[in-house]
A and B are shown apart, each in its own frame.
Chain A
Amino acid sequence: MQAEIAVAEHPREQAINIMYAVQGHYGYLPDEGLLEAAELLDLTPLELEELATFYDFIYRRPVGKYVIHVCDGVVCWMFHENSVFEYLCQKLGVCAGEISADGLFTVLPTACIGFCDHAPAMLVNGRLYGPLTPLLIDEILEKLKTEYCDLVVCK
């Protein structure tokens, strides 16, 4: 990480990459990780927190192994996005941001993920799915439960 910072003209350019790296290590960006990253980047904790909490894909609280980002964009809304979100929450027994009992899933909304032509859509650990139906969602969840996936929570 230090090497990455060293090549940048201003250390803060590397803020996102460093936060991702820390997140890749812990599964989320814990306070210790943020403080350490801030020091490496020559930023105050507040400055890094401003950035960290701006982005949907940086998690400041523990999340499940799979973070399901349901698109909150206009097109997906037209295609009943809300019911997708609610369906997922119901199915997994969680509210937004919580971890399902098996530790595998967290459901979060996100802005348009550029998959509008497959609306309603969602993004799970870097993979796009859509157009979603309850049936398809069930299938995807089943598959994720059995499939191997490394802990890098976002790509």
Chain B
Amino acid sequence: MPKLIIDQRSIEVPAGTKVIAAAEKLGIMIPRFCYHPGLGSFGACRMCAVKFLEGPVKGIEMSCMEDARDGMVVSTTDPEAMEFRQYVIEWLMMHHPLDCPVCDEGGHCLLQDETVSGGHGRRRYLGHKRTYHDQYLGVFVQHEMNRCIHCWRCRNFYQGFAGYRDYGAMQIGNRMYFGRYEDGPLESPFAGNIIDLCPTGVLTDKPCRFVGRRWDFERAPSLCLHCSLGCNTTGSARYRQMWRQEGRFNEMVNGYFICDRGRYGFAYESHPERPRRARVAGLEVAWAEAIQTAAEKLSQIAATAGPAAVACLGSARSSLETQATLQRFCRALGWSEPRYFSVPSQERQVKAAIARLEAPLAVSLREIETADFVLVVGADPVNEAPMLALALRQAWLKGGAVAVLDPRPVFLPFEFEHLPLAPGDLEAALEALTAGAGGTDLLAGGSPWPLLPKIAALGRRLTQTQRPVIVCGTGIVRESTPGLAADLVLRLREAGLNAGLFYLLPGANAFGAGLLSPAGEGLTPLMEDLETGAVKALMVVENDPFWDYPDRGRLVRALDKLELLVALDYLPSPTVQRADIVFPTLTLFERNHSSFVNQEGRLQLAPPVHLGGMPMAQISPEKHPPRTFLSHIPGGEPRTPGEILAELAAAMPAPVTLPGDDLWDWLSRKNPVFANIVSLFESPPGARLIPEAVPAGTFSPAAAPAAAERPPDYLELLLVDLIFGTEELASYSKHIQPAEEPPRLRMHPADAAKLRLSSGDRVALRLLGGTLEVDLQVAENMAPGVLVLPRHRQLNWRLAPDYRVMVAYGDIVKVEA
């Protein structure tokens, strides 16, 4: 490890560290524009010049281009270096407009800071400034090209890091232009990162434009809840409303960046119809009255029909605090255990996955970047867990290979191998790979399966790697698939490879929900209990079965049977709309600290960004704080579900006090994985809630249940995710909605030919619950025998008994215009 001296202080850094990064470790921020720790060095701006006094390099050099080496003595404050940087900044400012007061970047602008700190205070250039035409880049990113200093960060991220190809650098020299070939929305769902990266005001956050200066905002670290990866963000709020999310560094999860769903999905928080007052029978009532009514009605039903007649439904999007408090509440009242999933197959999949995730196997998102082979099984990264796609790309850029086994027309921003297998075949493929890794010659038996040679070839490549990772989704796979993926990892580890396992889960805190759900088969599916009348009162805590339950008709009939529906939520969901009693809750941005467990078991903490309350814009059209003084926050009635549950318990005719001991103590008594939680304040990357030990040598692969054969003349309908339009929270965000693509049904050309259908046709899909009309897109790169339909906000897809159903050829017909 090279040891060097920077500004008279010595430091030892890993080989390959650049001098600029070594200085940063000492707390010395060398001025820079093109260098970014997440992107690397490019030497484009010349701003990071320092003087090398001793050692292998001498004189003024760029600190972002020089590797730290033994014996280097570096001065960042040498007069010669300072003068050099002063000229660079003067030169960069030559064409830059002098109008920071009207620029949205002003106040958090690197160029502004470095102009001042660089000592360029007087303008000498009196000539004309270069000007450009700006482009329309879509709803997220604002373009103001005159402010560009040609640092290349945006292009280096957009094309280099993320691999999208519609934004770049055109022209040369002074005329260089960063933009698209022509006006139009940026195609990359990671485009928002160029806003964070641009060191000047060229690329700014459109929804947050001219809302405030940095110091006007309340800012705090936060988390993204729009998929299970749990990327870290920084939230900005002003006037009781969230305005902006930026990527926040987490060395184990997202690195520096986030996706656009995570960046702009937050606006559900200020949805104009968000419940803000307690309601009974559709009427807003005093909070205490609603608590009283709910407590009375719930206890009455429990008293007459027995405690099991009251059920609670939590969710995979609630914080762990909420999930756990709900369970404690149910136990304290003697009601049945809460469920956390309205779709039973989802619960089983999540439990199957987390049961197999153990510390030695689990890899973090960042660790995927160093894998030399990644096998993605039953997952569509860009649409299900967007940042995974970028992690895979980093692995590929470092020379790793990526293979995807998935029936969907998967797109990734790099070259990868795609075997479009139907969901049933995924398990057979995993089994074959596991057998192959154990030394079985797959081709010996002369199996009739035509894909086997390809899978055998894949298996051979897999076993020749050193650090492979198996990524397994839980969206479209069978319930036993996550277990088979874990088997493969164990087998590879037995064969001496350092294999890792990475699951995707449905929901930001699906892991927490899975940990708290009863083991094994669990409870009777909620829907059955509702239908048989076993449950008469239902309390839904931050869940909306109308969003994810696949059979809308059945759901409505079941809910109709209820005597009482109580909803606690911050979304104006259909469940909230039809509930008899509504308690508004807080989002993760408001007032309370909340923790979430991501798909690798990492517990992360989100402190509040602001105190909550009705956004100023919604009560004062002039967007000015009211001029009267109040003792409370207007619209500040929502509380955390934990607080509401405690109030309810205390208001019961026979009052119950929720156990006073610490929630975390209670959790660690319940499940040992909670015992080793260190303070999250002291552990920025979070702590993992997964068991340490893998029982060595006890591995015997489970036999996959024979895949239910698809009857001939049937297609398997897969209900899938899209980056925009299918995720619950983001679908309530007014920023995301205009970016949604219209939903389309996709099918393989072979099936389309049999059905005499072609791309662009309007197709009617007859399902059990009714008929659905949607445009068809024929896609080559998908499995035959399946229909791929997004669970899109704009689509009435909830017509099937389950997430996976068979559709007969006869039930797919063309709608004549």
A44 contacts B170, C-beta separation under 8 Å: no
Interface residue A83 (Cβ < 8 Å from any Cβ of B): no
In the complex the two chains form, is A54's CB within 8 Å of B172's CB? yes
Q: Which residue of A lies closest to B175 (CB)?
A: A53
Please provide the chain B residues from 161 to 205 with a CB less than 8 Å away from any CB of chain A in the complex.
165-172, 180-182
Q: In the complex, what distance in Å separates the CA atom of A155 from the CA atom of B766? A: 64
Q: Given the interface contacts A44-B181, A45-B181, does A50 sit within 8 Å of B170 by beta carbon?
A: yes
Q: Which residues of A contact B181 (CB under 8 A)?
A: 44-46, 49
Task: For the complex, give the distance between the alpha carbons of A53 and B166 in Å.
Answer: 15
> Is A47 in the interface zone, CB < 8 Å from B?
yes
Looking at the assembled complex, report how far the CB atom of A88 sits from the nearest CB atom of chain B, in whole angstroms: 21
> Is the pair B171, A53 in contact by a Cβ cutoff of 8 Å?
yes
Q: In terms of DSSP, what is the predominant structure of the interface of chain B?
A: loop
User: Which residue of chain A is the closest to B167 with respect to CB atoms?
Assistant: A46
Bound form: Cα–Cα A10–B776 in Å: 33
By a CB distance below 8 angstroms, the chain B residues around A54 are 171-172
CB-CB < 8 A to A53: which residues of B?
170-172
List residues of chain A with CB within 8 A of the CB of B172. Answer: 53-54
Minimum CB–CB distance for B132 against chain A, Å = 13
Shortest Cβ distance from B164 into A: residue: A44
Residue pair B165, A46 in contact (C-beta under 8 Å): yes
Cα–Cα distance between A94 and B180 once the two chains are bound (Å): 30
Interface centre among B167, B168, B170, B181 (most CB of A within 10 A): B181
Query: Given the complex of chains A and B, what is the CA–CA distance between A50 and B169 in angstroms?
Result: 6
Across chains A and B, the number of contacting residue pairs, with CB separation under 8 Å, is 26
Q: How far is the CA of A43 from the CA of B165 in the complex (A)?
A: 8
Q: How far is the CA of A121 from the CA of B168 in the complex (A)?
A: 34
The residue on B at minimum CB distance from A55 is B172
Residues of A within 8 A of B167 (CB): 46
Write the A30-44 contact mask toward B (1 if CB under 8 angstroms, else 0): 000000000000011
Which residues on A sit within 8 Å (CB–CB) of B180? 46
A53 to B168, CA, bound (A): 12
**Chain B hits for A50, CB < 8 A:** 168-170
Tell me whether B168 and A47 are in contact (CB under 8 A).
Answer: yes
Taking CB atoms and an 8 Å cut-off, the chain B residues in 388-434 that contact chain A are none
Distance between B370 CB and nearest chain A CB, rounded to angstroms: 27
Give the total of A residues in contact with B, Cβ under 8 Å: 9
Across the two chains, which residue of chain B brings its CB closest to A45? Answer: B181
Contact with B along A47-67 (1 / 0, CB 8 A): 101100110000000000000
- Say how far A74's CB is from chain B's closest CB, in angstroms: 15
On whether the beta carbons of A47 and B170 are closer than 8 Å, the reply is no
Q: How far is the CB of A47 from chain B (nearest CB, A)?
A: 6
Q: List chain A residues, Cβ under 8 A from B170.
A: 46, 49-50, 53
Query: Would you give the shortest CB distance from B799 to chain A, in whole angstroms?
Result: 39
Tell me the smallest distance from the CB of A17 to a CB of chain B, in Å: 20
Q: Report chain A residues within 8 Å CB of B182.
A: 45
Interface string of B143-177 (1 = CB under 8 A from A): 00000000000000000000001111111100000
Q: Which residues of A contact B171 (CB under 8 A)?
A: 53-54
Q: Chain A nearest CB: distance from B607 CB in Å?
A: 41
Tell me how far the C-beta of B614 lies from the nearest C-beta in chain A, rounded to whole angstroms.
44
Least CB distance from A50 to B in Å reads: 5
Residues of A within 8 A of B166 (CB): 44, 46
Chain B neighbourhood of A46, CB < 8 A: 165-168, 170, 180-181
Q: How far, in Å, is A70 (CB) from chain B's closest CB?
A: 16
Cα A49 to Cα B170 with chains together (Å) = 7
| B165 lies within 8 A of A44 (CB) | yes
Q: How far is the CB of A27 from chain B (nearest CB, A)?
A: 21
When C-beta atoms are compared, the residue in chain A nearest to B176 turns out to be A53
Instruction: Give every chain B residue within 8 A of A49 (Cβ-Cβ).
Output: 168, 170, 181
Whole-angstrom CA separation of A45 from B172 in the bound complex: 17
**Complex Cα gap A53–B175 (Å):** 10
Task: Give the complex CA separation of A45 and B179 in angstroms.
Answer: 12
| Chain A proximity of B174: nearest CB distance (Å) | 12
Measured between C-beta atoms, what is the minimum distance from B177 to chain A in Å?
8
A45 partner residues in chain B, CB cutoff 8 A: 181-182
For B165, the closest partner residue in chain A by CB is A44
Residue of A nearest to B180 (CB): A46
Closest to A56 in B: B172
With A and B bound together, what is the CA distance between A143 and B182 in angstroms? 41
A15 to chain B, nearest CB (A): 14
Give the shortest distance, in Å, between B135 (CB) and chain A (any CB): 11
Shortest Cβ distance from residue A97 to the other chain B in the assembled complex, whole angstroms: 12
**Complex Cα distance A49/B171, Å?**
8
Which residues of A lie under 8 Å from residue B169 when comparing CB positions? 50
Q: State A62–B330 Cα separation when bound (angstroms).
A: 77
Tell me the minimal C-beta distance from B188 to chain A in angstroms: 12
Chain A residue numbers with a CB within 8 Å of B165 are 43-44, 46-47
Interface residues of A in 80-105 (CB under 8 A from B): none
CA distance A68 to B625 in the complex (A): 65
Q: B177: nearest residue on chain A (CB-CB)?
A: A53
| A54 to B171 Cα, complex, angstroms | 5
Q: Give the shortest distance, in Å, between A5 (CB) and chain B (any CB).
A: 18
Taking the closest CB of chain A, its distance from the CB of B178, in whole angstroms, is 10
A46 CB to closest chain B CB (Å) equals 4
Tell me the chain B residues, 573-619 only, with Cβ under 8 Å from chain A: none
Q: What separation, in Å, do the CA atoms of A53 and B172 have in the docked complex?
A: 7
Residue of A nearest to B171 (CB): A53
In the assembled complex, the CB of B327 is this many whole angstroms from the nearest CB of chain A, namely 52
Which of B166, B170, B182 gathers the greatest number of chain A CB atoms within 10 Å?
A: B170
Q: How far is the CA of A46 from the CA of B137 in the complex (A)?
A: 14
A35 to B59, CA, bound (A): 47
- Cβ of A43: which chain B residues have Cβ within 8 Å of it? 165
Most buried by B among A46, A50, A53, A54: A46
Distance, CA A47 to CA B166, complexed state (A): 7
| CA–CA, A13 and B166, complex, Å | 19
Question: What residues of chain B lie closer than 8 Å to A44, measured between beta carbons?
Answer: 165-166, 181
Measured in the bound complex, the distance between the Cα atoms of B168 and A45 in whole Å is: 11
Instruction: Considering the complex, give the chain A residue whose CB is closest to the CB of B182.
Output: A45
The chain A residue sitting closest to B179, CB to CB, is: A46
A42 to B433, CA, bound (A): 34
Q: How far is the CA of A53 from the CA of B171 in the complex (A)?
A: 5
| Bound CA span A45–B167, Å | 10
B697 CB to nearest A CB, Å: 48
Assembled-state Cα–Cα distance A45/B171 (Å): 14
CA distance A45 to B170 in the complex (A): 11
Distance (whole angstroms) from the CB of A48 to the closest CB of chain B: 8
**Nearest CB on B from A96, distance (A):** 12
Bound CA span A49–B178, Å:
12
In the docked arrangement, what's the CA distance between A43 and B171, Å? Answer: 17
Min CB distance A32 to B, Å, is 13
Complex Cα–Cα for A99 and B380 (A): 53
Residue of B nearest to A50 (CB): B168
Q: Which residues of chain A come closer than 8 Å to B168, judged between CB atoms?
A: 46-47, 49-50
| Interchain CA distance A78-B170 in the complex, whole Å | 30
- A50–B170 Cα distance when bound, in Å, is 4
Within 8 A of A (CB), among B472-506: none
How long is the Cα–Cα vector from A61 to B169 in the complex, in angstroms?
18
- Cα(A71)–Cα(B168), bound, Å: 28
Give CA–CA (A43, B169) in the complex, Å. Answer: 15
**Closest Cβ neighbor of A43 among chain B residues:** B165
Q: How far is the CA of A44 from the CA of B180 in the complex (A)?
A: 10
Q: Least Cβ distance of B62 to chain A in Å?
A: 23
Chain A proximity of B179: nearest CB distance (Å)? 9
For this complex, 21 residue pairs linking A to B, each with C-beta atoms less than 8 Å apart, are A43-B165, A44-B166, A44-B181, A45-B181, A45-B182, A46-B165, A46-B166, A46-B167, A46-B168, A46-B170, A46-B180, A46-B181, A47-B165, A47-B168, A49-B168, A49-B170, A50-B169, A50-B170, A53-B171, A53-B172, A54-B171
Besides the known contacts A46-B170, A49-B168, A49-B170, 19 further A-B residue pairs in the complex with CB atoms under 8 A apart: A43-B165, A44-B165, A44-B166, A44-B181, A45-B181, A46-B165, A46-B166, A46-B167, A46-B168, A46-B180, A46-B181, A47-B165, A47-B168, A49-B181, A50-B168, A50-B169, A50-B170, A53-B170, A54-B171
Leading 5 A-B pairs by shortest Cβ distance: A45-B181, A46-B181, A44-B165, A53-B170, A53-B171
Residues of B near any A CB (own CB < 8 A): 165-172, 180-182
